[in-house]
Amino acid sequence: MIGKAIRLERIMNRNTGRTVIIPMDHGFSLGQIYGLHDMPQVISAVSEGGANAIVLHKGMVRHGHRKAGSDIGLIVHLSASTSLNPDPNDKVLVCSVEEAIALGADCVSIHINLGSANESKMIEEAGDISRQCTRWGMPLLVMIYPRGKGVNPTDPVAIGLCVRVAEELGADIIKTSYTGDPMSFAAITRACAVPVLVAGGEKGGDLESLAMIREAVGAGAAGVAMGRNAFQRDDPARFIRAITRVVHHDATPEDALGSGA
């Protein structure tokens, strides 16, 4: 598994064992959204902010990755759906592990929605991707959430199931929702042997968002994967710099925003 170990070093900070990942795959589902009109510019801002990695779909890698700014880890997202689909929880594969390798990826990611009508298909596809990742020494980030009719998206039992399913599938990193409660989330992270990241959620205030991240990290989260809540800021580099201070230096939200951010 030396290939996975080498690539994971580009995603996870070796000193803290944590990571700040900025997903920028939203254009596939939402179209030409604010914050992602100029991909080279936003990728440069994200790298300037000190994020460990970004998430892109395969077609966007050529338009911005590593063309400007500091070096940054690349995660190629393999799953997709659009907002025009009557069931936006239905994700399909649009890229392979081999394609991601050819693009220079350090990691690949897939999306699973437990409780959705197409849960079984997504789990089956994830199992196949996991086998390919083992074969090629490619780290696997599983983004997994409880989503579907009658499903509570912040239920600790449901989120705990999501994390366990991802670990059983062979995930090297897991992204899921925060329960909103440090005690329940700590129980979930303690029961998992691989890093668990919290999703950034919808855009909130600076202090509010940083406080959530700090609380989750205190409950055992290995960092955050935050998309719109980060790249749609007026100054993404400044806010991401504050996130990295919270995640990697245990700074308070106030200190993170005030120390030259």
Q: What is the pLDDT of residue 68?
A: 58
More confident residue, 88 or 134: 134
Q: To the nearest whole number, what is the mean pLDDT of the chain?
A: 93
In the CATH scheme, what is the code of domain 2-258?
3.20.20.70
All residues at 6 or more sequence positions from 59 whose CB lies less than 8 Å from its CB, including other chains: none
pLDDT tens, 63-119? 766 665 678 999 999 999 999 988 888 999 999 999 999 999 999 999 999 999 999
Listed as own residue / partner, the contacts of 59-66 with beta carbons closer than 8 Å and 24 or more positions apart are 60/24, 60/25, 60/27, 61/103, 61/104, 63/39, 64/39, 64/40, 65/104
Return d(Cα 167, Cα 34) in angstroms, integer. 34
* Whether 4 is catalytic: no
Q: What is the pLDDT of residue 61?
A: 92
All residues at 6 or more sequence positions from 168 whose CB lies less than 8 Å from its CB, including other chains: none
Residues 166/175, Cβ–Cβ less than 8 Å: no
In which band, very low, low, confident or very high, does the pLDDT at 201 lie, cut at 50, 70 and 90?
confident
* Whether 175 is catalytic: yes
- Mean pLDDT is highest, among 83-92, 160-169, 250-259, for 160-169
pLDDT tens, 34-71? 989 999 889 999 999 999 999 999 999 987 666 656 78
Which residue type, as a one-letter code, is found at position 228?
R
Q: Is the pLDDT of residue 227 over 60?
A: yes
Q: Give me the half-sphere count of Cα atoms (radius 13 Å) on the Cβ side of residue 69.
A: 21
The structure tokens listed for 213 are 């991240």
Instruction: Find the DSSP H helices in 77-147.
Output: 97-102, 119-136
State pTM to two decimals: 0.95
Q: What is the pLDDT of residue 64?
A: 66
If we measure between CA atoms, which residue out of 150, 152, 192 comes closest to residue 175? Answer: 192
Q: Is the pLDDT of residue 202 over 80?
A: no
pLDDT tens, 177-186? 999 999 999 9
Count of CB atoms within 10 A of residue 259's CB?
12
Angle at 84 between CA 78 and CA 87, to 5 degrees: 70
The structure tokens listed for 120 are 């079984």
In which band, very low, low, confident or very high, does the pLDDT at 156 lie, cut at 50, 70 and 90?
very high
In which band, very low, low, confident or very high, does the pLDDT at 259 lie, cut at 50, 70 and 90?
low
* Whether 34 is catalytic: no
Of residues 91, 106, 145, 206, which has the active-site annotation? 145
Of residues 91, 106, 172, 175, which has the active-site annotation? 175
Pairing relationship of beta strands 92-93 and 107-114 according to DSSP bridges? unpaired
Q: What is the pLDDT of residue 261?
A: 43
Q: What is the pLDDT of residue 203?
A: 73
